A = this chain, B = another copy of it.
Amino acid sequence: MTSLCAVALKVEFFYGMSFLVAAIAFAFAFYLYLWVKKHKVENAKIQEVSKLISQGANTFIKREYKILAVFAAVLAVIIFVLLPTPVWKSSDIVGGNLAMAISYILGTVFSAIAGKIGIMVATLSNGRTAEAARAEAGDEQGIDKATKKSFLMGFRGGSVMGLLVVGCSLLGVAAVLWVVDDASILLGFSFGASSLALFAKAGGGIFTKTADVAADLTGKVELGIPEDDPRNPAVIADNVGDNVGDVAGMGADLFDSNVAAMASALVLAGGDAVNESMIFCYGILGLLSSVIGIATARIGKKGTPTKALNMSTYVTTAIFLALTALATWLFEGFSWKIWGCAAAGLIVGVIIGLATDFFTDDTKPIVKKCARASKSGPAFTILSGISYGFISALPAMVGIAASALISYHLGGVFGISMAAVGMLSIVGMIISNDAYGPIVDNARGLAEMGGLGEETIRIADELDSAGNTVKAVTKGFSISAAGLTVISLLSAFMAEANAALLAAGKPLITGFDIMDPVVFFGILIGAVIPAVFSAMLMLGVDRNAQRMVKEIHRQFDTIDGLREGTAKPEYNACINLATAGSLKELIPAGLVAIVSTVVVGIIGGARAIGGFLLGNIVSGLLLALFMSNAGGLWDNSKKYVESGHEGGKGSNAHKAAVIGDTVGDPFKDTAGPSINTQITVVSLVASLLSSLFVAISLL
């Protein structure tokens, strides 16, 4: 064992292992891609529509990446000129500012590549998942087989994204640190990931809900045609939106959180070789556990899709805990206390997921209560959803608070960052579960458009419903993980600020005192930003949807035969409109967050920023949990009513539940989960500008 220990204490060993395991993950992802691809799509209609969705998603991704490239280029120049030290003051431009700028660009590029490939495979899988679900009514064995096969197709298609995200983040972090050996440069990489996430998550979120809302408003409400009806010009945009928001957006969001967690842990490790080794080791083992979890996921003998998804999460969790315990036992210097931190983070994450499930699963009482309230009218659907949404934040907030407290007791501030690393260790699995959702959702639509028959649609519905349930859970999980990550980012900010203070020969910051009115000033303003940010996104969805409704009306007015189904709508017009609009609406919201950070920093210096970050985290977590859970609750209440309860489809309760769901859509798919990204962006802007803010404090 002595030889092992000697190796262990060299961080370089773990860099190497990171490259190796990332390569394994990529190879496995490639295998899954081939596996999905070898199944052929036979139905011509499905082939055609699936291709349209794939092209549409690529249109969005291309346009998004183009704007992002400009944005990133500008920021890279600013970073090069100013960070970590203004070039005119810097003695080491290449090792410092240039490294930071390159690191930033790499952060965007790595995340972009993962997103691009993930989307490609997801849009490849949807049609195949639909075809795999083909079965005849009455043929029990056939149905069972089709369900299992279709599930596997959807899940494996989604897993590619999961593997790529975690592989890319591990590879990127290890590579940057291997080259420059300075953890603070990683903040640049992390900020790059955040920039992309801002565009992918918030922009994608606006896109998806624009299309969804416009399609519903014109299709279901005005024309009375069913969801996914190919006559609706917005129907392809709607399906594109699912991929753009949930595959690319969610992936970028979790890439961002994962990188931020590792980066802040590495900053807090303060160059200690054992600590750094542990961080990489945990990252590596997390990815390995996800690979195993993904490889073994399938519907068991008496299983259901939901059980299969949940089981794979539990399997991954258990494997991770076992492997890290083994590593702690094997490698000298690895601390059991730090293992405890990671375990606490991960277990709390799972508990939060379960609590979220309690509030959003339609077999549990809350969804039923909301459905019952709908009988009194839409106002009661809304009040019920908002109320339970507020209450649903309680377990997660308590869970995060508890895990922060426990891990601090075990390992100090570094311990908190390791709780975040632990919580995010199974992120490969989480993303796979999440990306499964839009694939099976698409598959359901494709089965309908391809005329694959009632039984196939029923199977697709079952798979889709499992996706919805699991999605709520993964969202709660990812928000909590972001929360814990940002606590360590706060510490990272203080570490960076202190580095600047040390350089100036000034006394260091030891903390941010609530009773200090400058801190308090920052707290209040930081707290209101997530509210404003999410409001701007929701208003953006609304404006954009109104534009699309106009375009749909134009098409119905000018294209002969569209209403009758003899002519084809111009799907691309809607996709382009959603794309252009979403990016346009996103930018002001992003600027509000970034500019307010800079303004508060300029007014109040480093202390105000400390408060600002805290306020931002606290209210951001609360609102993100509230909005995501309320949205999930409304969505499933509607589905619960549609499945025949409280009067079923067409009843007043149903109408009310549909209104709840429409409100919930931008809550859960645009505003709520984008707050994560907003928090991370703001934290990283603060950390990057820390020397500037410190300079102002010293004036």
Contacts and interface: CB of A to CB of B under 8 A. Distances in A.
A369 to B, nearest CB: 9
Contacts of A393: 528, 531-532
A223 to B, nearest CB: 15
Contacts of A514: 490, 511-514, 519, 610-611, 614
Contact of A397 (B398, B413, B528, B663): B528
Contacts of A379: 659, 662-663
A546 B389 CA distance: 21
Interface in A471-513: 487, 490-491, 494, 510-513
A517 B384 CA distance: 34
A394 interface: yes
Question: Which of A487, A511, A517, A539 has the most B CB atoms < 10 Å from its CB?
Answer: A517
A174 to B, nearest CB: 29
Question: Which of A490, A523, A618 has the most B CB atoms < 10 Å from its CB?
Answer: A618
A340 to B, nearest CB: 15
A388 interface: yes
Contact of A404 (B397, B521, B549): B521
A524 B386 contact: no
A281 interface: no
A527 B397 contact: yes
Given A523-B618, A622-B619, A515 B531 contact: no
Contacts of A517: 404-405, 408-409, 416
Contacts of A391: 531-532, 535-536
A401 interface: yes
A521 B401 contact: yes
A623 B207 CA distance: 28
A212 to B, nearest CB: 12
Interface stretch (A118-126, A232-240, A307-315, A370-378): A370-378
Stoichiometry, as copies per complex, reads 2
Nearest to A626: B531
B217 A376 contact: yes
A621 interface: yes
A516 B511 CA distance: 8
Contacts of A487: 520
A397 B529 CA distance: 10
Nearest to A407: B517
A538 B383 contact: yes
A675 B400 CA distance: 24
A380 interface: yes
Interface in A621-636: 621-622, 626
A115 interface: no
Given A382-B382, A404-B521, A387 B512 contact: no
Contacts of A400: 524
A136 interface: no
A390 interface: yes
A534 interface: yes
A217 B377 contact: yes
A320 to B, nearest CB: 24
Interface in A191-245: 217, 221
B515 A413 contact: yes
Interface string A94-106: 0000000000000
A567 interface: no
A659 B536 CA distance: 23
Given A382-B663, A619-B622, A531 B390 contact: yes
A542 interface: yes
A437 interface: no
Contacts of A513: 510-514
A666 interface: yes
A542 B373 contact: yes
Given A379-B659, A387-B539, A487-B520, A618 B511 contact: no
A549 B380 CA distance: 14
Interface string A573-584: 000000000000
B401 A525 contact: yes
A527 B619 CA distance: 7
A518 interface: yes
B394 A528 contact: yes
Interface string A387-426: 1111101100110111011001100010010000000000
10 contacts: A386-B535, A391-B532, A397-B528, A409-B517, A416-B517, A510-B513, A511-B516, A523-B614, A531-B622, A619-B619
Interface of A: 217, 221, 373, 376-380, 382-384, 386-391, 393-394, 397-398, 400-402, 404-405, 408-409, 413, 416, 487, 490-491, 494, 510-525, 527-528, 531-532, 534-536, 538-539, 541-542, 546, 549, 604, 610-611, 614-615, 618-619, 621-622, 626, 659, 662-663, 666
Q: Return the 5 tightest CB-CB contacts between A and B, nearest first.
A: A511-B513, A379-B662, A408-B517, A390-B535, A390-B531
